[in-house]
Structures are given as C-alpha cells and as structure tokens.
C-alpha cells in the first residue's frame, strides 16, 4: 500500500516528523551499505525482496525482488542486476532452499500473482545460483480473489511446504505446495481471516508461528500448522507511536531455538519497529537514512537473514524497499544487520 508520491545482529533516518508522543532520540538511525539497480518501471513498482544466502561463498549470495508492474528481478550483493523474469503483476516474494523440484533439491522462489484479480495464483521459479538466473516452473491457482501478500513456511516434522497467500480483503489461504513432480501443484488446506486490508506476512520455520500485518490495526500471530486453530492472537497494535499505520513488510531475524527479532516496516512514517521473540517485547525503532547511498522512505517489503554475507555484510543482511529513490525509479537498499543491532542498543 502506498500512502504518498535486532545473538545475531539489526543502515540513516528519514527526515519524517515522528508521530506525536515519540521523541526523535528514541528512534535509531543507520545507513545502507549498498543498493540495487533501480527497477525498470516508474511510480509505485518495487515491492518486496527475498534473500538467498550462499553457504559456501557468502559474498556470492543473491537477492530476488519484485517489480509489481513488470516481474521478478535478481541481484547480487553489489546491487548489480543479473536476471529478470517477466510477469505483469507479482507482488510479494519468498524462497526456500533444499526443496524438491522435479526430483532434485533446489531453491524454490514463490511470488503472489495478482494478474487476475478474481483468481489468485502462485508464480513459482527455480533459482539457479550457478547460472544466476530464475527458471519459471509454473503458475498454479491458489484460491479466489486478488493475491496480495505471500510468505512460505516449511513444517519441521515432515518438511512439507506451505504458502500463505494474503488476499487484499484480509483472507489468508494456506496452500500446500508440491514441486516434486514434473509440474508444480498447490491446494488450499486452510483459510484464515483478518477483518481489514492485510499484506505483509512472515512464518517462522523453527516455531511454527505465522505473523501477519493488518495494515491499520496491528500484527497478528497464528499457529502455522493447518491442523491448528485458525483464531488469530493480537501481538502488537497500531498505536501511532511504536507501531504506526501503515504496517507493511514483516521479517524475522532468528537466533537460537525460538529467539531473535521480528521487524515491521512502518510505511506511514518511514521507519521500522523491532520486537524480541518469542514474547514480542518491544526492542526499539530505527530508520535508514542517507549516507553513501540514499535513505529509505515509505518502505513496503523487507527481508532479513543473519549470518555471514562476506566482507560488506559480515553479521547478516537486511534488504528494504525504497519508496522514493528519486530521481531514479524505486529500488532496494542493503543494510548490515550488525549496524542495526548496534544502533538500537545505543538508544537504550
């Protein structure tokens, strides 16, 4: 949605005026260490990123990101554009490594396909890290309605893979995805519901918890297993101070069995809110401001992966969509997670 033209480790603040009751000093500032090439289309186009960490050569890790007016982009950690898979209306994207794809383990990329507002679909791709390209796999149906948000969850017990497809009206279809055969399949196994427009979601493969952002209301948690209760639990409310509407992208930086941090992009004031897991204790707020590269504003999608990403990002990587990259079109900023953690600690 566009309103206008933190174990491990959390780049400098926008010039936005903080909401009433929130001092600017309470919000940490970091700067990005890099950025991607701009997307190819103008206006509100760049939307959501996903990160694949190369375990053998971390500096050769890759970023997948959507241009919701054109398709799916692939970038390296310098921000250089590597590949493009055309598709008219892909919105959110996620990926998992070690998925059986046509009988062989691979990296599965899934995006929410909004091309038909009456029929949600999954746009599925295999990420080939050697060739550094995206290989289309199929476009299975995923329920009636306009596919908006999307995140993947892999069940620990049996490695079954599910996609949560968030419709624009707050309905969430849980879809089991099977890519082991010659053609991918998807079937709805459960439906969840929030009352109003929702988009951002993230699922924790360790704990089996799903978090969804209801944009003007707050964050909700569901048990991700399809056999579990469909009743949502409120874990953070929009209060105009710590969590500001419009709440958009969600990302988890895991640490240990069930710890780490949940981060939400606050599109309404161009900042980010951070909670400690598993108890959702508020851990701080930050902005990404101008430095070697520009600041972020009106961020939509975000992603965070801890771990070594090479010399530029030794303690983890956060990628954030930038809603205003003028004079160029929108792009994605690359932030060192270690910088964010350090900045948050400085405000306590």
Domain containing 275 equals: 24-346
- Residue 166: name the closest of 209, 238, 215 by CA: 215
Average pLDDT over residues 98-111: 97
Q: Which residue has the higher pLDDT, 2 or 338?
A: 338
Q: Answer whether residue 4 is part of any domain.
A: no
Q: Answer whether residue 144 is part of any domain.
A: yes
State how far the Cα of 138 lies from the Cα of 239, in Å rounded to an integer. Answer: 41
Q: Answer whether residue 12 is part of any domain.
A: no
Q: Answer whether residue 178 is part of any domain.
A: yes
Biggest alpha carbon–alpha carbon distance for the chain: 56
Give the pLDDT band (50/70/90) at residue 17: very low
Q: Answer whether residue 173 is part of any domain.
A: yes
Contacts of 92 (CB under 8 A, 6+ apart): 47, 48, 66, 111, 112, 148, 149, 150, 151, 166, 199, 200, 201, 301
Q: Answer whether residue 3 is part of any domain.
A: no
Q: Answer whether residue 180 is part of any domain.
A: yes
Q: What string of DSSP letters covers 279-304?
A: TTEEEEEEEEE-SSS----S---EEE
Residue 152 is classified by DSSP as: E
The domain tally of the chain equals 1
* Digit-coded pLDDT (tens) for 282-333: 999 999 999 999 999 999 999 999 999 999 999 999 999 999 999 999 999 9
Q: What's 173's domain CATH number?
A: 2.120.10.30
* Digit-coded pLDDT (tens) for 73-84: 999 999 999 999
- Given a contact cutoff of 8 angstroms between Cβ atoms, the answer to whether 110 and 117 are in contact is no
Q: Answer whether residue 283 is part of any domain.
A: yes
- Residue 261: name the closest of 345, 327, 171 by CA: 345
């Amino acid at each position: 949605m566009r309103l206008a033209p933190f174990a491990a480790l959390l780049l400098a603040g926008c010039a936005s005026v903080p909401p009433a009751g929130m001092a600017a000093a309470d919000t940490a500032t970091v700067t990005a260490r890099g950025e991607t090439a701009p997307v190819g289309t103008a206006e509100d186009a760049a939307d959501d990123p996903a990160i694949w960490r190369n375990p053998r050569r971390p500096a050769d890790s890759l970023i997948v990101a959507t241009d919701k007016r054109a398709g799916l982009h692939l970038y390296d950690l310098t921000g250089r554009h590597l590949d493009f898979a055309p598709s008219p209306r892909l919105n959110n994207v996620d990926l998992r490594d070690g998925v059986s794809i046509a009988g062989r383990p691979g990296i599965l990329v899934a995006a929410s396909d909004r091309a038909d507002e009456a029929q949600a679909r999954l746009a599925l791709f295999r990420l080939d890290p050697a060739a550094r390209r995206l290989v289309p796999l199929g476009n299975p149906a995923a329920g009636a309605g306009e596919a908006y948000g999307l995140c993947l969850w892999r069940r620990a017990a049996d490695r079954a893979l599910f996609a949560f497809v968030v419709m624009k009206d707050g309905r969430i279809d849980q879809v089991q995805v099977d890519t082991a055969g010659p053609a991918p399949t998807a079937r709805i196994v459960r439906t969840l519901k929030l009352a109003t427009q929702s988009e951002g979601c993230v699922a924790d493969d360790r704990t089996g918890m799903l978090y969804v952002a209801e944009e003007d209301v707050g964050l909700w948690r569901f048990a991700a297993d399809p056999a579990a209760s469909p009743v949502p639990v409120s874990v953070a409310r929009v209060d105009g101070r710590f969590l500001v509407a419009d709440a958009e992208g969600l990302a988890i930086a895991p640490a240990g069995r069930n710890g780490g941090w949940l981060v939400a992009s606050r599109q309404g004031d161009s900042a980010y809110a951070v909670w400690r897991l598993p108890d959702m204790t508020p851990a701080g707020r930050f902005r990404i401001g101008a430095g070697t590269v520009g600041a972020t504003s009106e961020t939509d999608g975000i992603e965070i992966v801890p771990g070594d990403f090479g010399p530029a990002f030794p303690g983890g990587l956060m990628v954030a969509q930038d809603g205003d990259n003028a004079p160029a079109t929108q792009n994605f900023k690359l932030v060192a997670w270690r910088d964010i953690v350090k900045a948050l600690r400085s405000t306590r």
